[in-house]
Amino acid sequence: MPDLEFPACAAIRYLNGVIIAGKRHGDCLRSAMLCDLDKIGSTQGFMTTFGRFVNREDAKLLMDRAGRESAAEGGYRGDILFSEDLY
Instruction: Return the HEC string of 21-79.
Output: EECCHHHHHHHHHHCCCCCCCCEEEEEECCCCEEEHHHHHHHHHHHCCCCCCCCCCCCC
Give the largest Cα separation in the chain, rounded.
43
Residue ranges of the chain with pLDDT lower than 70? 1-2, 39
Phi, psi (degrees; rounded to nearest 5) at 81: -95, 140
Check residue 3 and give its pLDDT.
Answer: 83
Per-domain residue ranges of the chain: 7-82
Instruction: Quick: pLDDT tens for 64-77.
Output: 999 999 999 999 99
